[in-house]
Structure 1
Amino acid sequence: MKKNLSRLLLLLFYPSFVYAEVVPDAQIRLRFESFDNMNEKYYGSKPKVGEGHDSYLMTRIRLGLNYEFNDNWSAKVSLQDARVFDWGFTRDDWYNKEFGQVHSSQSDSFELSKTYLKYENSNLAITVGRQSISYGDARVFGPGEWKNAGKWIWDATKVSLKDGEHFLDFFYGATMLHDPDQFSLNHRHGYYGGGIYGHYVYKEHAAFEPIFAYKQNRKENELYNSLESFYAGARVYDSDIYSYFFDATYISSFGDYTKLTNETVSIDGVGYHIDAGYHFKSINTKVGVGYSYATGDNPNTKENETFDSAFGASDKYYGRLNLMQWSNLKDYELFNVYKPNKKTSIKLEYHRFYADEQTQKWLSYTIASMKNDHYGDEVDIFMTHKYSKSIDLLFGVGYFISGSYIKEATTKNSYITDENAFGFVAQIKYNF
C-alpha cells in the first residue's frame, strides 16, 4: 500500500518539481498530558474505558511541500503522523457507532494531510483538495488543532470572493475520519456538508460575519438512519471600543433525522456565546466575563432540541480540561489575559457549568431521570511563550470541582465517581 501511495504521489507531483518553485515546510509538536480522575471519554477514578489516572506523550510530525507555479497557481502536498505513547486507550476504544468504524482525533499514523491545488487572484480564490477550514473564532468552523490528529479536516472545494478586507466564502465536501491503521486516500469520509461564511469589516477592529452550515449523513448506522442538519446565524465583534471589547455569536440549528424506528424527528436547537470586558492597555491586561449557551433535548417535546457546534472546535472555550462541549450547556465564565511581553501570554479563567436539560448525554454517558443540573466548576491557567522564531512553548493546569449533577450521577452509574479532577499539559512546537 505504501509503495502504491508513493508512486501515486510521484505521478501527481512530478511535473511540479520540474516547472514550479518548491518550498518545503515541517513541524514537530510534542505534548505531555497528565490527568487525574478523568480521561477523554469518562469522568472519575474508575472509568469504563481507559485509565482514571493517565499520563502520556503525544507526538505529531508534519512534512509538506509548497509549489508556486506562477502568480496565480499553487499547490501543496503534505503528510502527518500523529501518535500517543503510553496512553490508556486502545485503537478499538475509538470505534464510532455513527460512522461504523474507528475514528480517533488523537491518533492517526502516516496520513495524507493538507494536499490541494489552488488558484488565486486579487478578488477570487479556489482551493480543491484536502484542506483545513476555519473561520472567525473557530466556534462554528474550526480545525480542532488541539487534538493531536486534528478534529476536522476536509476533502472539499472552497471558493472565496474577496474585496479588500471583506470576503465571502462557499465550500462543499466531506470530513475525513481518523483511523491509525488505514490510509484515507479513497475512503473514510464522515459527514458530507459545507458552508457559507462572510466577513464584513464595518470599522477598524470590528466586523460582522454571517454564517451558514450544512451537515449530512445518509448512511444507516447504529444510532440513526439518516441525518440532515442546517445551521444559520452570525458573529459580530469589536475588539476596541475605547478599550472595551465584545464578541457575540448566535446560531440556530434545524433540519431532521430519522430514528432507527424510521420515525422522522425535527431538529430545533440554539447555541450562542457572548463575552465582553475591558483592556487595561497600560498593564497589558484584559479582564472579562462570558456566557455560552446550547440547548439540550427537552424530553417533553417531539422535536430534538440538542444543539451541536456544527464543525467547530471546542478545545479552548468550555474549560481546558475538555469535559464540556457546546451542547446542552450553560457556561458562566470569568477570565483574565495578561501579556507581560510580546512573546508571552497568560490566561486565567473560571467556569461554572450547568446542563440545560438534566437528562442528556454528557461525555460518554447518557443518564436518565436526573434532577440536578450543576456539572461543576473549573479553574484553568495556561501560558504560551514564543521562545524563538521557530519554537513555541505552552504550559497549563486545570482543576475541576464536581457539582451536584456528578454527585447524583454516581448513584445511577457505577463507573462515575465524584472526586475532583486535575490536568497538566506541557507542549513544545518546532516549525522548520
Structure 2
Amino acid sequence: MNKRYTTQLLSLFSAALLNAEIEFDGQVRLRYESFDNMNEKYYGTKPLLGESHDSYLMTRVQLGLTYKLDDEWSAKVSMQDARVFDWGFNSSDWYNKEFGQVNSTQTDFFELGKTYLQYKKNSVTVTAGRQSISYGDLRVFGPGEWKNSGKWIWDAVKVSLKDGENFLDFFYGATMLHDPDDFSLNHRHGYHGGGVYSHYVYKKDAAIEPILAYKINDKKNEIYNSLESFYAGARVYDTDLKSFFFDATYIKSFGDYTKLNNETVGIEGVGYHADGGYNFKQIDTRVGLGYSYASGDNPNTSDNESFDAVFGASDKYYGRLNLMQWINLKDYELFAIFTPNEKINIKAEYHKFYANEPGNKWMSYTIASMQNDHYGDEFDIFGTYKYSKEIDLLLGVGYFMSGSYIKEAVTKNSYITDENAFGLVAQFTYSF
C-alpha cells in the first residue's frame, strides 16, 4: 500500500512538472571601480589592509529558473557567482568578529541565490525560502545590491496581504552570510529577525509606511555576549505636492545588549532622514535639501545609544564613495536630479558629514579620544542610461575632502593620512 501510494504521488508530481510553465531569467553585471587614497575599510595612503589606490573589475552572474505549477503555486531556483578581479583584499580580510567567520559582501563563488516556494491567491502571497526583502526607499529594509554579492539576503517566510496599492507584510527568518570559500548551507546565519512593513496610500503620489522590526544574535562572539534589538517607526512621502516633494523616515531602536563582561545595557538609538524640494518640470529637474541623522553611543551614559541602520542599504544615500553609513552620523545634503526622459537619470549631490559622537567607530577605526566631529565633504555625480530593455549603463565619480575629524585622527592613528579621496565607477548590466 505504501509503495503504491508513493508511486502515485511521484506520478502526480511528475505530471505537474511536465505541465508546468517554465521561465528562465538572469543578469550579468560588470563594474569597474577605481579609488584613490581610500578603500572599503581604511582611509588615506597607509591602509592596514588592502591598497590605497585600488582599481578592479567586479563581475556578478545570476541565473534563475521559475516553475509556475498553476495559477497559485510557483517555485524558483537560482544561482549567483560574484567575483572581484585584481582587488587589493583577500577573503580572510573580511573575517567578521560578530559572526565568527568570513562575511564578504563583494565575493560569493557559485552560491545559491533566490530559491523559494511561493503560494499566491487573491490578495495573499506566501513566500518561503531564500529571498530578497526590500521596501520603500530601501533605507530600512534593502538588499544592498550595490555590493557585488548583496548585503542582506534572507532565508525567511514572508506573508503579504494586498488591497489595491495598499499592502501589509510580515516576515521572519535569518540573514545569509557570504563566505566565498564555503557554501552558505554549510555554515551559520547572521542575525535572526523579522519585521512588519505596511504601505497605505492616502492620496495620489503619497503614502505612509508604518515599520516594525527586530534582530537577534544570541551567539557569544568577540564583540558581545548577545544582542536583542527592536525597531519602530514610519516613513511618509509625497512625490508631487503642487510640484514640491518630501520624504521622511523616523526609526527608534530599543532592546538589550550584553557586553563580554556580562553587563547588560539598554539600547536607546534613533535614526531619521528627511528631504524635500521642488520639481522644475519645465527643465525635468528636481532640486532639494536633505538631512540624515543616526545616534552614536554617548560614553557618559549607561545605555547604548548607537543606531545601527536596521537591515537597510547605504549604497546610494550617504555619499557614493560609501565612506559613511546610517550609523553615528549627521549628513547635510544638497542635490539635483535631471531626468530629461525615461532613459536618462543624472544626480549631482553634495554632502557635509559629521559624527554624532566622535569617539565612536568610523570605517575600521575607533579612536575614543576624538574631539572634532567633521569627517569631511563629498561631491558626487552619477548618471544612468537605459540603452535598451536588456541593457543598463552607469557612470559616476565622487570626490571627498577631509575635514577636522581626519586632521585630528592623523595625529592619533598612524594608518590614517590627511588626503582627499577620489572614486570612479563604470557599470554595464545585461538582464534577461
Q: CA deviation at 1:72?
A: 1.0
Q: Please list, as runs of the form range in 1=range in 2, the aligned pairs for 1:7-22 lying within 5 A after superposition.
A: 17-22=17-22
- How far off its partner does 1:17 sit? 4.2
| TM-superposed deviation, 1:283 | 1.0
1:295 matched to 2:324 = no
Letter in 2 for 1:88: G
Distance 2:195 2:187 in 1: 22
Q: Which residue of 1 aligns with 2:143?
A: 143
- Measured in 2, the distance between the counterparts of 1:110 and 1:308 equals 30
Partner secondary structure for residue 300 of structure 1: coil
2:158 is matched with which residue?
Answer: 158
Structure 1 residue 255, shift from structure 2 partner: 0.3
Cα offsets for 1:78-125 (capped at 9, x unmatched): 000000000000010000000000000000110000000001122111
Corresponding residue of 1:67:
67
2:152 counterpart letter in structure 1:
W
The match for 1:334 is: 334
Match of 1:191 in 2: 191
How much has 1:26 moved relative to structure 2?
Answer: 1.2
The CA deviation at 1:19 is 3.4
Counting matched residue pairs gives 420
Are the equivalent residues in 2 in contact too, given 1:294–1:356 (CA < 8 A)? yes
Quick one: distance in 2 between partners of 1:370 and 1:93?
Answer: 26
Residue 249 of structure 1 corresponds to 249
Q: For residue 322 of structure 2, what is the amino acid of its counterpart?
A: N
Question: Does 1:49 pair with 2:76?
Answer: no
The 3-state SS of whatever aligns with 1:189 is coil
For residues 425 and 301 of structure 1, do their structure 2 counterparts lie closer, same or farther at Cα, with a shift above 3 Å needed? same
Inter-CA distance 248–83: structure 2 relative to 1 (3 Å threshold) = same
- SS of match in other structure, 2:88: coil
Are the counterparts in 1 of residues 17 and 69 from structure 2 also a CA contact under 8 Å? no
**1:21, 1:392 → 2: CA distance?**
28
Partner letter of residue 90 of structure 2? T
The one-letter code of the counterpart of 1:302 is: S
Q: Deviations over 1:178-213 (max 9, x none)?
A: 000111125330000000000000000000000011
Name 2:366's counterpart in structure 1: 366
Superposed CA offset, 1:107-151 (max 9, x none): 011000000000112211100000000000000000001000000
TM-score (norm 2): 0.96
Unaligned 5+ residue runs, structure 2? 1-12
Match of 1:231 in 2: 231
Is 1:212–2:212 an aligned residue pair?
yes
Q: Which runs of 4+ in 1 moved over 4 A?
A: 13-17
- Work out the CA distance in 2 between the residues paired with 1:30 and 1:122: 39
CA distance in 1, matches of 2:285, 2:78: 39
Give the residue type in structure 1 aligned to 2:29. R
Q: Letter of the aligned partner of 1:74 in structure 2?
A: S
**Per the alignment, do residues 402 and 15 of structure 1 end up closer, same or farther by CA in structure 2, a change over 3 Å counting?**
farther
- Displacement, 1:18? 2.0
In 2, Cα distance between the equivalents of 1:325 and 1:407?
Answer: 20
Identity of aligned pairs, percent?
75
Cα distance in 1 for residues equivalent to 2:366 and 2:186: 34
Q: Distance in 1 between matches of 2:252 and 2:199?
A: 19
Question: How far apart, in 1, do the equivalents of 2:418 and 2:315 lie?
Answer: 23
Q: Over the residues paired in the alignment, what is the CA RMSD in angstroms?
A: 1.0
